Amino acid sequence: MHKGWYQIAFERELRDPLTLVRIGELPLVVVRRPHSVRVFAAVCPHRGANLADGRLQDDQIICPFHGYAIGLGESCPGELKVPEYPSLSLGGMIFVLLSAQHDNEFAQVLWELDRSHYFVPGFSVEARVPPELVIENAFDRRHFQTVHQLGQDLGLKLSANEPHLLAVRGQMPTAINSWLKLLTTEAVDTVDFFAQIFSPNICLTRLSVGERGFHVITAATPVGQDRSLIRVSVAGPPNEDGSPPKDELIRAMLRDSSTALQQDIKVWEGLSPTVMPKYTADDDLVLRYHQFCKSFST
């Protein structure tokens, strides 16, 4: 399991003060208060009980097994306490960072985006696919033409080559983007495609015409052996008067994203797990993504 950022929930899913979430086999407890959301290890240090089944009391959780007060955070007094993980609650999405050394300004980028766009939490779907394959998709040149029937090469090129940030740029034909006519009346042949990977499990993709465009946040979180919970949200630009983008535009963007994802899932779930890949020259960006993932393993 990688040590970078993960999306662990939509805020609408947090119905109680304590919510259990998992990243693979790692259990976490989300503590929701009226004006904050924090994330902690969910295993009681006394005997291993699930703290999400406990009761929140000030800065402690009363363990459901023996009733001990478990401190929330390393700064709490006493021996029985659980560590806190860095987290981000923004735009109806909840993210957590498993290791502070792998923070690569993802939170800062989202906060900057929040100043100029409107976040809309989207949809989630579980699929029989390793999460890395979901995020790798943005770097897989040939699949765009075959799976999504684009009819032309996007011309993807590496845009950044930094230890903790990976990005590609390309041009996407406009025909498949039903949301485009709702965004602009300008006659254009292509949409600018810019995908940034901040961790092996989160991709931020900008689809734009000139200065106006959408961002799609795709997150893939492991939920079992070679299974992922995929969450997709969007950040849309304001109207000229500064008001939020129209619901019709948001729905079209999410609908296109859902259609593309279902096309991918059909292929992913049909892949043979026993085949050893024989990569070709067109897979250079895919291999670069795999190399990027390795830096998040420790």
Alpha-carbon radius of gyration of the chain: 20
Start-end ranges of CATH 2.102.10.10 in the chain?
A: 5-102
Start-end ranges of CATH 3.90.380.10 in the chain?
A: 106-294
Q: Write down the pLDDT at residue 42.
A: 97
Residues 248, 123: Cα–Cα separation, whole Å:
16
- Output the six-digit token pair for 254: 């999410």
Q: Write down the pLDDT at residue 175.
A: 56
Residues 74, 165: Cα–Cα separation, whole Å:
30
Whether residue 56 contacts residue 26, with contact meaning beta carbons closer than 8 Å, is answered with no
How high is the mean pLDDT in each 10-residue block of the chain (298 residues)?
A: 93 96 96 94 97 95 96 90 96 94 89 94 96 94 87 82 76 67 66 91 89 89 92 91 86 90 95 91 94 85
Longest Cα–Cα distance in the chain: 67
Superfamily of domain 106-294: Naphthalene 1,2-dioxygenase Alpha Subunit; Chain A, domain 1 (3.90.380.10)
* Residue in 158, 129, 128, 127 with CA at minimum distance from that of residue 141: 158
Q: Write down the pLDDT at residue 265.
A: 96
- Within 10 angstroms of residue 19's Cβ, the number of other Cβ atoms is 20
pTM of the model: 0.92
State whether residue 225 is helix, strand or coil: coil
5-102 CATH pick, 3.20.20.70, 3.40.50.300, 2.102.10.10, 1.10.150.20: 2.102.10.10
